[in-house]
Each structure stands twice: as structure tokens, then as C-alpha cells.
Amino acid sequence: MFKKALALTAGLLFTLAAYAAGAQLRADHPTTYVVKKGDTLWSISARFLKKPWLWPEIWDVNQQVYNPHLIYPGDVLNLDVNGLRIAKRAKVEGNPIPTVPLSAIEPFLQDLRVISSAELQAAPYVVALEENQPRAIEGQNLYVRGLVGAAVGQRYAVVRPSHIYREFNAVPAPHPVDVAHMLNSNVDVVPGPWQEDSRNDDMWGNGKEIGTEVRVIGTAQVLQAGDPATLLLTNAKMEIRKGDRLLPVNDTPYDYTYFPHPPRNVPEGAYVIALANGMDSISVVGPMSVVALSIGSDEGVDNGTTFAIYQPGETIADRVAGSIDAREFSPKVRLPDEYVGHVMVFRTFAHVSYGLVMDGIRPVRMHDAIKAPD
């Protein structure tokens, strides 16, 4: 009896799983699809699935499918009630198609980090350059202070701060107001149209820092230990100057495969804190653009976490419900948030994440809210 019940339960679960998978396919999907060069797993899923971010859950792992991350141009995908599977394996040539276009995220994997300004200020720094020049190029020496315990031959990344992410508890804004400031090498805010002051840390002062973005601009190798230590600039993406900081080289290879999945939880007030490389030249972005989010690994975010982006609804005056007496103010009403698109996280730091906007029906803006996808 127990075996019969188990078999019945297993069959029911299989039927429900097949139904759930089939329910995700769009009604007008074809029976097969030939993978083309330039496709990504997300773009294929977005074409045929109602919820493209669910593709890992509905990919049929039976039969010829070895790994959904190892499908190639020329493969024939069968789209049926059981989801997606490879019906015909092509002659394998070149690289498998990625989850997302790697060209859109590679600079953010290799060249950028987010750390605290306290960590940056405590980092070793370039105090002088070879022959006391104002700038150094590849092949020249750097003189660095603060390299305690450095060994000859040890490699370091030369970094320069680019932006600082701060949030301000401005009221009555629906979300904290933030500013991603340009920085100089001394981690001071570069003077500009808007400058920080210390009148009120919560409203118009320094605000709460949630991360400082630094750009890796070169690598250097220790030639002679000491204080200052002598390092050879072995690679440089731009000229190195006094005040540039040094951090350990990150030689850990990056994982370019991502499995989209819903967040474990979404903290109240999570939002888009910056667009692309900051907020200096653009105010909106669209699909395949990188944004920074106000939550990170400490809030449970990991690579592949997918959020829905919403534009916060405006607060307006309800003139209809208001009194006709001009001396009285009309009551305020908050309009519903408007759906914008999806964003998938591809790199996390303590309280900041980089995400790629995967799709959308309207532009993504600063302060757009992020929520669990539906």
C-alpha cells in the first residue's frame, strides 16, 4: 500500500511539475528553436517564457541536456510541455552561449570594487614616483608607504576611488536620497555643484556611507621592502599619481555562469542607488545597462539574485476629496508603484551590488525600488 501511495505521489508531483513548466511557456511559442550566435540564455527564455528569470527551474535536465550553460549556436531546442531541452546537438564549435552578454558586465568584474572609505584610507599609498615625476607609466618605479610585511615579488593592485555611495534620510522622500560623488585619491569629495557639509548628517550633511567604489588602474610588484617600499609598475591602464592606493590583487577567476533565482528576502527600502559608473552624465538607463543596488551580501544577496524594479508612485494632492475652501489643503495620496523591468545581480559587496538590467518597459532611474519578482 505504501509503495502504491508513493508511486501515486511521485506521479502527481511529476504531473504538477510538467504543468508548472508548461504554464510558463508563452501561448505562441514554436515547437523548436535553433540557437543563433549572439543569443543568451536570458534572451532565449525571454522570447518563449512568461517569466524568463525562471528558466533554470523549467529547463528539462533529462535526455540530451548535459548543462543548460553548455548549449551552442546550431543546437535545436525543443519547446514542449516539459519545458526546454536540446532536441538535436550541433557540431560544437566556439564557445557556449552565456547567461548574459559578458561584454556588458566584464569591466565591472575586473576593474571595479566597492569597499569602505575607512578601509581605503588605511590602505598603502603612493608617496612618490620615479625621478620625482608627477605621473608614472608602465615600467617605472613607485614608492609606497604602509606596505607592512610586504615581500619581494608580491603583487598589488593600484586603485583610485571613483564614487562614494551615501544615503540620506530626507523626509518626505519615499526612499532615501543618495549621492554617488566623484572622489579624489585622498577620499575627499571633489568640489562640484553640490557639496557636502556637516550641518546635519541625516538631512544635508555627510549622510550614511554604504560603500566607496574604486577602479583598478594598474598592478605593481614589490622590488624592495621598506617604508617607503619600491614597486615596479608592471601594468597601467592610466597614469599613476601620488595618493593612489594599493590593495591586494584579486586573482580569483570570475564565474561567468549565473542561475537567476528570486531573492531570499528584500529589505524594506531597497533601491537603485546608481546608474552605470555613477550619476554624473546620465539620468536613465535601459536593458543591458549596469546599475548599483543599495543592498549586498550582508543582506543575503548573491550572484543570480533577480529583482523586479518599480518606479515609486508619486504623492499627489487629491483635489476631488479636498475642500473647496482655498484656505484648506487637499489631502495627499500616494499613487501605486509602476513596474519597470528585471535586474539580475552579477557581483556583490557588503552593502552594494552590481546588477544588469535584463528587460524593461520603461527607463530605469535613480531611486527606483527593487522588489521580489512576480
pLDDT tens across 56-110, in order?
776 765 455 557 778 888 888 887 766 677 777 767 777 888 888 888 898 888 8
pLDDT of residue 208: 73
What is the reported pLDDT for 74? Answer: 87
Q: Write down how long the chain is.
A: 374
Residue 227 lies in a domain: yes
Structural domain contains residue 277? yes
State which residues form the domain around 179.
107-248
Considering just the CA atoms, what is the radius of gyration of the chain in Å?
26
Last residue of a domain, one of 88, 123, 156: 88
Q: Residue 216: what pLDDT?
A: 94
Same domain, 163 and 227: yes
Contact present, 82 and 18 (Cβ < 8 Å): yes
pLDDT at residue 168, rounded to an integer: 58
Burial class (CB in 10 A: 0-12, 13-18, 19+), 235: middle
How many whole angstroms separate alpha carbon 341 and alpha carbon 51?
Answer: 11
Q: Could you tell me if 136 and 80 lie in one domain? A: no
Residues 111, 83, single domain; the answer is: no
The grid cell for 270 is 531597497
User: 301 and 236, same structural domain?
Assistant: no
Three cell numbers, residue 296: 549586498
Answer whether residue 253 is part of any domain: no
Same domain flag for 62 and 144: no
| Cβ proximity of 99 and 41 under 8 Å | yes
Q: Are residues 117 and 219 in the same domain?
A: yes
Tens digits of per-residue pLDDT, 279-295? 445 678 889 999 999 99
Q: Tell me, what's the pLDDT at 138?
A: 94
The C-alpha angle with vertex 277 and arms to 372 and 285, in degrees rounded to 5, equals 55
Same domain (yes/no): 142, 171? yes
Please tell me what DSSP assigns to residue 269.
T
Q: Are 23 and 15 in contact (CB under 8 A)?
A: no
Q: Mean of the per-residue pLDDT values for the chain?
A: 78
Q: CA nearest 43: which of 262, 355, 359, 362?
A: 359
* pLDDT score at 248: 93
Question: Is the domain of 207 the same as that of 117?
Answer: yes
Which of the residues in the chain have pLDDT under 70?
1-23, 58, 60-66, 81-83, 90, 168-207, 277-282, 322-328
- Same domain for 82 and 113, yes or no, is no
Q: Domain for residue 261, yes or no? A: no
Contact of 357 with 306, CB cutoff 8 Å: no
Q: What is the domain count for the chain?
A: 3
CA distance 63 to 185: 56
315 and 219 co-located in one domain: no
pLDDT at position 40 is 87
